[in-house]
Chain A
């Protein structure tokens, strides 16, 4: 025990934080390589990003942790625990928990890009968590790299010393040892009390079909051993530990114990990750700690959408797939939902748009499902005339106008960092999206940080794409939930051939209703194929029609020469047509292809 306590001096627990694409995962790979943790022949590009999706998108979706051994220039053998963090605003809470498991963080900044919104947001999170920050300037191999400029920016904007900080090329493996040495000299060793009652922070977990849930922890005080009975302090759930150990890059490595200062895992025959929420504190049932570690929050989904199988017969497959994903993703919620237009599906809750896209993509890719997804929505709060309160996550259940005394919508605090030449366009965008300007400051001569309060429902309506297109891809965005505020919200419905299509309804601010109604009606007109009868398209608020379009009746399809008796060709044409028809959804009496449906729902204001 004493021996282990002495070893804390040789442990360094740290994260890598960065804006997307600044090279976080590549740097992690180089560290693994340089410490000999992974033999070069075992190296796969970006080993910390296990999911294909992560590797393709170059983002880390879930936190991962890995243990490394490093013999430093001082001749001592150190243990490094690298805790990787997600790099996207949707996963801010997970980032903050991961940071709480560390004493320090490497802040990676791309020498060609400088500081971006997420660099700043993550750096502030790290500062809030009391972490020592070690700046690392990356991509120095690129011709446009400006190492000194980047260092100066870090000092000026974040306010931490950066002079002489490691300047590396993670891609080429340049100066990686400087980073390892800086970890030892600049990041403090953990100072836990191995004799105190157990306190361990859960910072990640995943479901394994053999082991049950594998829980990643940082032990702050005390020791955890197999056979211990533990208690999770926020949920009160109790489990018997079956195994503990360390995370090696290529798998779990069991040990006798995990003690104060260390990062490791445990298993306890836990069946779902929802029982082991990130941020919860693990303690011993027989000798519990007095107080849990600070900062636990139950994460709640912010964005909701209906997900339906394109082929109604695959409803069961979709349910199974969602259940499998939820085993590993406590922030995904879903419950069955029925739409007259789309049939049986699920109303799913996500942390944000990226989270939603990831889930959609995993459903399609890993489970081979073709999906129809409705427009994303946020949760609205409504006070009814009878005084009751309701939370609405599905536009089709939004109560009729006169039964509501007040409707409230979620507002976020958004921070946008952009080259100064795009400030005007972006302020117009925020204004147009009902943003309230908070402040603006120049980070340096060329870059500006804008703060706005924005309704979340405007952000999920194509805001990110609009931001990128108005800044030629240079602006970056970060936001956090602020509060619910009263708002003049209306429910916009669409009728095809006189019948309301529930899946097309959405909630919109009164001022935006007309423009958006016209836009969607136009888009419907463009995307609904002509049919044998004329199809009126109407947009309505309550019983008031505010926009209309018409799809003219089909009068002609192809009558090509059926040449030289090539009947097979003619038949193939009809087969193709039938194939397309089979996929069509009946929206009332109108046939609409899933592509058309999605095209309508995916539209944004900046779409041409």
Chain B
């Protein structure tokens, strides 16, 4: 292949919108299917959508794949294998590619995990959220901590040597102590990667409706949980490389990094987001519409619900917004090489104002948030980014 044709590699995200039950805080595109045929239809549609994109991606190497949900492992492994095979058929996925799948405890037994591993999946992300049963119940999770431990063991036995565990904080019933317990239980298992997410009550979820009756820890407690977690995880060998993501050396999630580095990716399936050829777009959350839009030949259904061409100003904003989530922050040199504009004039001077109060570190080469800064990053970023608005 001629070098001039080579475009930067991409990642692929595949959305599986099915779950065994819907958690009360969940605002993602997922639902409990009432029959098996919708799953088959959906799988067919995903495969058709890959075929549609195959041509456009022929010059793009795919070096990360992420199958998320919903609960991807709610699908029978044979469906997942069909999806993976179609993926390999339609895109250039080298053996070295990182291929992740999300799963919930008790949705995948040893046999299925072994099948998934054999099909090429080399990274598993397990949604635990908490090691305390009362907190799991309060979230509406349908598994126990014990079931999680079993799933984790099975995954190891099935050959997964790169496992992430999702944990939430700021959830109902949680205390600083109970959160510390969850962290210590999880680190005992020694997963390669840990994600810590703060609960956000999203409009339209059951949690939003009963917000006042939820026994949520206050903002100060939540802050303490985070700060203590960062310290604790460091002592257990986990480095924070992004606001919410911690990994043992060399185990950072390549697919996630792609988002924070403003690299391109293609999203397949309902509600999936893409950043491709300088355009961000999002597919409908309506599964029926998604399936019809793909399956019906010459259909006039547009499955894309939102399309946004990223001009250079927006692109700079995104680069800073996403880059500042990273521990390494934004490199002044990289920014200037990428955009040909001085970083100081655009963002640097404004960020400098936060240095004195300990929210930002500026060492001349890069800008990055301190732990305190990360926790109020929205506040600070909303102040310094253009976001298409005039000041």
Can you give 14 A-B contacts (C-beta < 8 A)? A532-B354, A532-B357, A533-B357, A554-B379, A555-B372, A556-B223, A556-B376, A557-B377, A557-B378, A559-B375, A567-B280, A567-B318, A575-B389, A578-B382
Kindly state the separation between the CA atoms of A564 and B198 in the bound complex, as whole angstroms.
16
Residues of chain B within 8 A (CB-CB) of A574 are 321, 378, 381-382, 385, 387
Instruction: Tell me whether B88 is interfacial, beta carbon within 8 Å.
Output: no
Instruction: Tell me whether A39 is interfacial, beta carbon within 8 Å.
Output: no
Instruction: Tell me whether B200 is interfacial, beta carbon within 8 Å.
Output: yes
Kindly state the separation between the CA atoms of A562 and B195 in the bound complex, as whole angstroms.
12
Determine if B387 and A559 form an interchain contact, defined as CB atoms under 8 angstroms apart. no
Determine if B267 and A564 form an interchain contact, defined as CB atoms under 8 angstroms apart. yes
Contacts known (A556-B222, A567-B322); A573 close to B378, Cβ less than 8 A: yes
Contacts known (A555-B219, A560-B197); A568 close to B382, Cβ less than 8 A: no
**Chain B interface mostly helix, strand, loop or mixed?**
mixed
Return the 10 tightest CB-CB contacts between A and B, nearest first: A560-B200, A577-B382, A555-B223, A557-B378, A578-B382, A566-B273, A559-B198, A556-B219, A575-B387, A561-B197
Determine if A568 and B280 form an interchain contact, defined as CB atoms under 8 angstroms apart. yes
Kindly state the separation between the CA atoms of A556 and B373 in the bound complex, as whole angstroms.
9
Kindly state the separation between the CA atoms of A352 and B127 in the bound complex, as whole angstroms.
62
Chain A interface residue count, CB cutoff 8 Å, equals: 30
Instruction: Tell me whether A570 is interfacial, beta carbon within 8 Å.
Output: yes
Residues of chain A within 8 A (CB-CB) of B377 are 557, 559
Scan residues 132-147 of chain B and give those whose CB is less than 8 A from a CB of chain A: none
Closest CB in chain B relative to A555 CB, distance in Å: 4
Determine if B198 and A578 form an interchain contact, defined as CB atoms under 8 angstroms apart. no
B-contact bits for A560-586, CB 8 A (1 contact / 0 none): 111111111011011101110110000
Residue in A closest to B29 when the chains form the complex, CB atoms:
A564
Contacts known (A564-B272, A567-B318, A568-B308); A552 close to B220, Cβ less than 8 A: yes
Residue in A closest to B243 when the chains form the complex, CB atoms:
A559
Closest CB in chain B relative to A26 CB, distance in Å: 43
Determine if A532 and B379 form an interchain contact, defined as CB atoms under 8 angstroms apart. yes
Kindly state the separation between the CA atoms of A371 and B66 in the bound complex, as whole angstroms.
50
Kindly state the separation between the CA atoms of A560 and B275 in the bound complex, as whole angstroms.
20
Determine if B321 and A578 form an interchain contact, defined as CB atoms under 8 angstroms apart. no
Determine if B280 and A554 form an interchain contact, defined as CB atoms under 8 angstroms apart. no
Q: Which residues of A contact B (CB under 8 A)?
A: 530-533, 552, 554-568, 570-571, 573-575, 577-579, 581-582
Closest CB in chain B relative to A6 CB, distance in Å: 72
Determine if A579 and B389 form an interchain contact, defined as CB atoms under 8 angstroms apart. yes
Determine if B197 and A575 form an interchain contact, defined as CB atoms under 8 angstroms apart. no
Determine if B244 and A559 form an interchain contact, defined as CB atoms under 8 angstroms apart. yes
Residues of chain A within 8 A (CB-CB) of B13 are 564-565
Determine if B219 and A562 form an interchain contact, defined as CB atoms under 8 angstroms apart. no
- Beyond A555-B219, A559-B197, A564-B68: 19 further Cβ-contacts under 8 Å? A530-B219, A558-B378, A559-B243, A559-B244, A560-B200, A564-B15, A564-B66, A565-B267, A565-B274, A566-B273, A567-B259, A567-B273, A567-B275, A567-B322, A568-B308, A571-B321, A574-B378, A578-B383, A579-B389
Residues of chain A within 8 A (CB-CB) of B273 are 564-568
In this complex, the member of A563, A564, A567, A568 whose beta carbon has the largest number of chain B beta carbons within 10 angstroms is A564
In this complex, the member of B271, B318, B387 whose beta carbon has the largest number of chain A beta carbons within 10 angstroms is B387
Determine if B376 and A555 form an interchain contact, defined as CB atoms under 8 angstroms apart. yes
Residues of chain B within 8 A (CB-CB) of A558 are 198, 200, 378
Determine if A557 and B375 form an interchain contact, defined as CB atoms under 8 angstroms apart. yes
Residues of chain B within 8 A (CB-CB) of A563 are 28, 68
Contacts known (A558-B198, A567-B273); A577 close to B379, Cβ less than 8 A: yes
Closest CB in chain A relative to B361 CB, distance in Å: 16
Residues of chain A within 8 A (CB-CB) of B391 are 582
Closest CB in chain B relative to A566 CB, distance in Å: 4
Closest CB in chain A relative to B299 CB, distance in Å: 24
Determine if A565 and B259 form an interchain contact, defined as CB atoms under 8 angstroms apart. yes
Determine if A575 and B388 form an interchain contact, defined as CB atoms under 8 angstroms apart. yes
Closest CB in chain A relative to B321 CB, distance in Å: 7
Instruction: Tell me whether B98 is interfacial, beta carbon within 8 Å.
Output: no
Residues of chain A within 8 A (CB-CB) of B66 are 564
Residue in B closest to A570 when the chains form the complex, CB atoms:
B321
Residues of chain B within 8 A (CB-CB) of A564 are 13, 15, 28, 66, 68, 267, 271-273
Determine if A578 and B243 form an interchain contact, defined as CB atoms under 8 angstroms apart. no
Residue in A closest to B15 when the chains form the complex, CB atoms:
A564
Kindly state the separation between the CA atoms of A558 and B377 in the bound complex, as whole angstroms.
9
Kindly state the separation between the CA atoms of A530 and B219 in the bound complex, as whole angstroms.
11
Residue in B closest to A576 when the chains form the complex, CB atoms:
B382
Residues of chain A within 8 A (CB-CB) of B223 are 555-556
Closest CB in chain B relative to A541 CB, distance in Å: 33
Instruction: Tell me whether B74 is interfacial, beta carbon within 8 Å.
Output: no
Determine if B275 and A565 form an interchain contact, defined as CB atoms under 8 angstroms apart. yes
Residues of chain A within 8 A (CB-CB) of B383 are 578, 581
Instruction: Tell me whether B306 is interfacial, beta carbon within 8 Å.
Output: yes
Instruction: Tell me whether B284 is interfacial, beta carbon within 8 Å.
Output: no
In this complex, the member of A556, A563, A581 whose beta carbon has the largest number of chain B beta carbons within 10 angstroms is A556
Residue in B closest to A563 when the chains form the complex, CB atoms:
B28
Instruction: Tell me whether B290 is interfacial, beta carbon within 8 Å.
Output: no
Instruction: Tell me whether B179 is interfacial, beta carbon within 8 Å.
Output: no
Kindly state the separation between the CA atoms of A567 and B381 in the bound complex, as whole angstroms.
14
Scan residues 314-360 of chain B and give those whose CB is less than 8 A from a CB of chain A: 317-318, 321-322, 325, 354, 357, 359
Residues of chain A within 8 A (CB-CB) of B389 are 575, 578-579, 582
Closest CB in chain B relative to A188 CB, distance in Å: 66
Residue in A closest to B307 when the chains form the complex, CB atoms:
A568
Closest CB in chain B relative to A443 CB, distance in Å: 46
Residues of chain B within 8 A (CB-CB) of A565 are 13, 258-259, 265, 267, 273-275
Residues of chain A within 8 A (CB-CB) of B374 are 559
Closest CB in chain B relative to A426 CB, distance in Å: 34
Residues of chain B within 8 A (CB-CB) of A582 are 389, 391
Instruction: Tell me whether B107 is interfacial, beta carbon within 8 Å.
Output: no
Residues of chain A within 8 A (CB-CB) of B226 are 556
Kindly state the separation between the CA atoms of A422 and B381 in the bound complex, as whole angstroms.
55
Residues of chain A within 8 A (CB-CB) of B282 are 566, 568
Neighbour of B317 across the interface among A552, A562, A566, A571, CB < 8 A: A571
Determine if A562 and B381 form an interchain contact, defined as CB atoms under 8 angstroms apart. no
Residues of chain A within 8 A (CB-CB) of B375 are 555-557, 559
Residue in B closest to A560 when the chains form the complex, CB atoms:
B200
Kindly state the separation between the CA atoms of A560 and B377 in the bound complex, as whole angstroms.
12
Kindly state the separation between the CA atoms of A567 and B323 in the bound complex, as whole angstroms.
12
Scan residues 272-315 of chain B and give those whose CB is less than 8 A from a CB of chain A: 272-275, 280, 282, 306, 308
Neighbour of A571 across the interface among B15, B68, B354, B387, CB < 8 A: B387
In this complex, the member of A533, A561, A579, A582 whose beta carbon has the largest number of chain B beta carbons within 10 angstroms is A561
Neighbour of B318 across the interface among A533, A571, A577, CB < 8 A: A571
Closest CB in chain A relative to B71 CB, distance in Å: 14
Kindly state the separation between the CA atoms of A531 and B359 in the bound complex, as whole angstroms.
13
Kindly state the separation between the CA atoms of A575 and B308 in the bound complex, as whole angstroms.
15
Closest CB in chain B relative to A534 CB, distance in Å: 11
Residues of chain A within 8 A (CB-CB) of B306 are 568
